[in-house]
Amino acid sequence: MSSNNRKKLLLMGRSGSGKSSMRSIIFSNYSAFDTRRLGATIDVEHSHLRFLGNMTLNLWDCGGQDVFMENYFSQQKDHIFQMVQVLIHVFDVESQEVIKDIEIFTKALSQLKQYSSDAKIFVLLHKMDLVQRDKRQELFQIMMSKLQETSSAYGFPNLIGFPTSIWDESLYKAWSQIICSLIPNMATYQSNLLKLKSVMDAREIILFERATFLVICSSNTTTGELLDPKRFEKISNIMKNFKQSSMKLKSSFKTLVLDNTIFVSELSSNMMCFIVLNNSDGPQELILENIKKVRVHFQ
Amino acid sequence: MNSEDSNSKATILLMGLRRGGKSSICKVVFHNMQPLDTLYLESTSNPTTEHFSTLIDLAVMELPGQLNYFEPNYDSERLFKSVGALVYVIDSQDEYMNALTNFAIIVEYAYRVNPDINIEVLIHKVDGLSEDFKVETQRDIMQRTGEELLELGLDGVQVSFYLTSIFDHSIYEAFSRIVQKLIPELPFLENMLDNLVQHSKIEKCFLFDINSKIYVSTDSSPVDIVMYETCAEFVDVTIDLHDLYKVQNISDSVTRPQREIKSSSALNNGIVIYLRQMIRGLALVALIRPDDTDVESCLTVVDYNVDIFKKGLEQVWAHTRIKPLEAKGSK
């Protein structure tokens, strides 16, 4: 099972749908502006990313021009579609040829069924920022029901989809769910986190991967608190911005303490924790000491 | 005379030819609009005034740029007398000869009516220019302005130039300096900040207006734009995170007075960024270098000193027109 720590992710979609932009923002610290500079991807661009130390993500960013696409489904099909853990298919919401987009999606599905039938499928409706706010939900529903139908026909009944945009935090939500589906020892993290929560008397604790700031897991607060449902993605976005700005001082940040209630600190070499306390009266040293002690359990 | 500033609003007059970017500046600096959204702003046809209260009560008046040349009439005399600073926006990506002539005429008039006026020129939209070309343009504009003014017999007028763009922090920096000139208590403030810096291992500190992210004062060491950017971004981070988790406090806030925002962040190279809320929507942001002492004791000293600094601020501004209550309500 040594190969289990190497995950193959296919990033597919037609030309111009924003695949490489996503990859650059999430994994290479690009800002949304910087992605304009990216040129078209030629054939397949591989990137090997270490995630949480022991996991390697092999991201196959497949160029989306028709010439390459044809190739993937004919000559290279066994090479491309073998041992795939995850297919991330990106749709451009502004696309003129929706029928053709879906056709390519079905082609990919049929290959996957043949070569790696237990792959997980995610679809991203990308560039949502170009659609009017009030129409986004409706458009997403229509598209998803259509795609659900197609993917069920090919034997992938549970399709998960996200509306995304590089200009807001929706991108982080999508990717953190995708990556989380690959983490094997999630249950351990979860139970450790809940213990930590009770010890610290916290309102909420969230675990982030350090380099990408994707949410790994959170102590689920089902107490009916009125918290912003989008807070995870927003924190990812805010913290990543802060990370970038601390780079200007030629450093990276270690801890952040806000109002004595919010503590952001590194847990291990590849994890950050975000702790929100119930009361702000506890001495800061005690809390930081607690965080230090807990590090052992998240290595 | 300008000395009436203390009981009238300090006013900034924003002028320039049409499509120079005046409204965009207003929206971006004071309304937190995204720079890209300003592409769709309509043309301003009437003079608009907007009020902002930070340390001083500030009004920014924007005049439409449509008038072919500036025509002096009765109204403009009164207007210029009440103004503290004239900000003229020149589009650096456009042919600017017309703008310069227009500018000279305005300056001549303004200077005659109100000799105390601060004259500021924003060489705007420099984001599209290369580094060499920026310097070239600035030199060219400065020289031509000098010539125009000399022709009108006004070679003694102080004109300041700023290279600005709404797509980076340069516009905030420029506005910070412009607003600073209108604060009568500035030397005193700087002194206080200098004192603070001396006694608490602070490398650089800024007094920010939280909403607009312009700084009303800083200590007397030179301003590094990188430090300014980092501090401004830290204000953003703090406010965003604070807002995310304050939902629960809505019911509490009636009974309990709002606590001041305070945050600090330690970086791996030893620098600590520190933020404390001050009076009137201001925040003190400081870069601290603890060197060989440990972070906690350093922060304790800073906390203590900042407390004193805040008391100082409160005392100085206790007798000004806005009652503290009002200031709190506007936050």
Tell me whether residues B244 and A231 touch, CB distance under 8 A. yes
Give pLDDT, residue B69: 54
Q: Is residue B330 part of a domain?
A: no
Give pLDDT, residue B210: 86
- Residues within 8 A of A (CB atoms), B 129-158 only: none
Tell me whether residues A256 and B265 touch, CB distance under 8 A. yes
Which one, of B316, B310, B233, B241, lies nearest residue B278 by Cα? B310
Of A181, A207, A229, which residue sits at a domain end? A181
The chain A residue lying nearest B36, using CA atoms, is A33
Amino acid at A17: S
Q: What is the residue range of A191's domain? A: 186-297
Give pLDDT, residue B331: 35
Q: What is the average pLDDT across B272-288?
A: 88
Tell me, what CATH number does A165's domain have? 3.40.50.300
Contacts of B263 in chain A (CB under 8 A): 256-259
State chain A's maximal CA–CA distance in angstroms.
65
| C-alpha to C-alpha distance for A281 and B259, rounded to whole angstroms | 12
Are B26 and B160 members of one domain? Answer: yes
Are A190 and A110 members of one domain? Answer: no
Strands (E), B17-145: 48-53, 57-62, 85-91, 118-124
Asked if A260 is an interface residue toward chain B (Cβ–Cβ < 8 A), one would say: yes
Asked if A251 is an interface residue toward chain B (Cβ–Cβ < 8 A), one would say: yes
* Token output for B223: 């301003």
How many C-beta neighbours within 10 Å does residue B146 have?
14
Give pLDDT, residue B319: 66
A101-134 pLDDT, tens digit each: 888 888 888 888 888 888 888 999 999 888 888 8
Are B176 and B222 members of one domain? Answer: no
- Residues within 8 A of B (CB atoms), A 153-182 only: none
Of all residues in chain B, what percent carry a pLDDT higher than 90?
2
Q: Is residue A154 part of a domain?
A: yes
Least confident stretch, A44-48, A142-146, A277-281, B171-175: A277-281
For an interface test with B, the pick among A36, A205, A258, A279 (most B C-beta atoms closer than 10 Å) comes out as A258
Read off the pLDDT band of A241 (50, 70, 90): confident
Contacts of B262 in chain A (CB under 8 A): 258-260
Q: Is residue B124 part of a domain?
A: yes
- Residues within 8 A of B (CB atoms), A 177-236 only: 203, 225-228, 231, 234-235
Give pLDDT, residue B86: 87
Asked if B241 is an interface residue toward chain A (Cβ–Cβ < 8 A), one would say: yes
Tell me whether residues A245 and B244 touch, CB distance under 8 A. no
Asked if B75 is an interface residue toward chain A (Cβ–Cβ < 8 A), one would say: no
- How open is the CA angle B22-B23-B24, to the nearest 5 degrees? 90
Beta bridge partner(s), residue B119: B86, B159
Which one, of B188, B184, B191, B117, lies nearest residue B157 by Cα? B117
How many structural domains compose chain A?
2
Q: Is residue A1 part of a domain?
A: no
Q: How far is A260 from chain B (nearest CA, A)?
A: 8
Are B125 and B197 members of one domain? Answer: no
Tell me whether residues A228 and B237 touch, CB distance under 8 A. no
The rounded mean pLDDT for chain A is 84
Are A87 and A164 members of one domain? Answer: yes
Give pLDDT, residue B9: 60
Q: Is residue B174 part of a domain?
A: yes
Is residue B100 pLDDT above 80, yes or no?
yes
Which helix (H) or strand (E) is B284 found in, with range?
strand B282-288
The rounded mean pLDDT for chain B is 80
The chain B residue lying nearest A264, using CA atoms, is B265
Of A123, A151, A181, which residue sits at a domain end? A181
Give pLDDT, residue A223: 55
Of all residues in chain A, what percent carry a pLDDT higher than 90?
2
Is residue A1 pLDDT above 50, yes or no?
no
Beta bridge partner(s), residue B259: none
Are A12 and A126 members of one domain? Answer: yes
Give pLDDT, residue A257: 87
How many structural domains compose chain B?
2
Q: What is the average pLDDT across B56-70?
A: 73
Residues in chain A, how many? 299
Is residue B171 pLDDT above 60, yes or no?
yes
* Token output for A220: 């689920």
CB A6 within 8 A of CB A58: yes
Are B40 and B149 members of one domain? Answer: yes
Is residue B328 pLDDT above 70, yes or no?
no
| C-alpha to C-alpha distance for B268 and B98, rounded to whole angstroms | 52
Are A160 and A283 members of one domain? Answer: no
Instruction: List Cα–Cα distances, B94 to B17, B32, B79, B189, B312, in angstroms.
Output: 11, 26, 29, 39, 47
Least confident stretch, B63-72, B110-119, B173-182: B63-72
Are B176 and B198 members of one domain? Answer: no
Q: Is residue B251 part of a domain?
A: no
Are A37 and A108 members of one domain? Answer: yes
Q: Is the dihedral of CA B145, B146, B147, B151 positive or negative?
A: positive
Q: Is residue B324 part of a domain?
A: no
CB B116 within 8 A of CB B184: no
Are A171 and A199 members of one domain? Answer: no
Are B177 and B190 members of one domain? Answer: no
The chain B residue lying nearest A232, using CA atoms, is B244
Q: What is the average pLDDT across B148-160?
A: 80
Q: What is the ipTM of this complex?
A: 0.80
Least confident stretch, A43-47, A48-52, B246-250, B301-305: B246-250
Are A30 and A92 members of one domain? Answer: yes
Q: What is the average pLDDT across B260-284?
A: 87
Are B283 and B175 members of one domain? Answer: no
Read off the pLDDT band of B258 (50, 70, 90): low
Give pLDDT, residue B247: 56
Name the residue facing A285 among B230, B247, B296 (closest C-beta): B296
Name the residue facing B241 among A238, A245, A254 (closest C-beta): A238
Read off the pLDDT band of B70 (50, 70, 90): low
Are A87 and A229 members of one domain? Answer: no
Are A152 and A210 members of one domain? Answer: no
Q: Is residue B140 part of a domain?
A: yes
Q: Is residue B326 part of a domain?
A: no
Q: What is the average pLDDT across B110-124?
A: 85
CB B166 within 8 A of CB B24: yes
Instruction: List CB contacts of A263: < 8 A, sequence separation 6 or more.
Output: A255, A256, A257, A273, A274, A275, A277, A287, A288, A291
Is residue B73 pLDDT above 80, yes or no?
no
| C-alpha to C-alpha distance for B238 and B205, rounded to whole angstroms | 16
Distance of CA B4 to the CA centre of its chain: 21
State chain B's maximal CA–CA distance in angstroms.
65
Are A41 and A135 members of one domain? Answer: yes
Is residue B324 pLDDT above 50, yes or no?
no
Is residue A239 pLDDT above 80, yes or no?
yes
Q: Is residue A20 part of a domain?
A: yes
Q: Is residue A251 part of a domain?
A: yes
Is residue A74 pLDDT above 60, yes or no?
yes
Give pLDDT, residue B320: 60
Of B182, B207, B235, which residue sits at a domain end? B182
User: Which pTM was predicted?
Assistant: 0.82
Are B102 and B163 members of one domain? Answer: yes
* DSSP single-letter state for residue B316: H
Tell me whether residues B268 and A252 touch, CB distance under 8 A. yes
Q: Which residue has the higher pLDDT, A127 or B258?
A: A127
Contacts of A218 in chain B (CB under 8 A): none
Are A103 and A234 members of one domain? Answer: no
Give pLDDT, residue B98: 83
Give pLDDT, residue B7: 42
Are B164 and B278 members of one domain? Answer: no
DSSP secondary structure string, A227-278?
Answer: --TTHHHHHHHHHHHHHHHHHTTTS-EEEEEETTTEEEEEEETTEEEEEEES
Of all residues in chain A, what percent carry a pLDDT higher than 70?
96
Q: Is residue A173 part of a domain?
A: yes
* DSSP single-letter state for residue B258: P
DSSP secondary structure string, chain A?
Answer: -GGGGEEEEEEEE-TTSSHHHHHHHHHH---TTGGGG--PPPSEEEEEEEETTTEEEEEEEE--SHHHHHHHHTTTHHHHHTT-SEEEEEEETT-S-HHHHHHHHHHHHHHHHHH-TT-EEEEEEE-GGGS-HHHHHHHHHHHHHHHHHHHHHTT----EEEE--TTSTHHHHHHHHHHHTT-TTHHHHHHHHHHHHHHHTEEEEEEEETTT--EEEE----S-----TTHHHHHHHHHHHHHHHHHTTTS-EEEEEETTTEEEEEEETTEEEEEEES-S-S-HHHHHHHHHHHGGGG-
Read off the pLDDT band of A224 (50, 70, 90): low
Asked if B223 is an interface residue toward chain A (Cβ–Cβ < 8 A), one would say: no
Tell me, what CATH number does A279's domain have? 3.30.450.190
Is residue B3 pLDDT above 60, yes or no?
no
CB A189 within 8 A of CB A207: yes
Of A181, A205, A226, which residue sits at a domain end? A181
Tell me, what CATH number does B42's domain have? 3.40.50.300
Tell me, what CATH number does B270's domain have? 3.30.450.190
Are B40 and B169 members of one domain? Answer: yes
Are B137 and B216 members of one domain? Answer: no
Q: What is the residue range of B306's domain? A: 185-246+259-319
Asked if A137 is an interface residue toward chain B (Cβ–Cβ < 8 A), one would say: no
Are A151 and A197 members of one domain? Answer: no
Are B174 and B27 members of one domain? Answer: yes
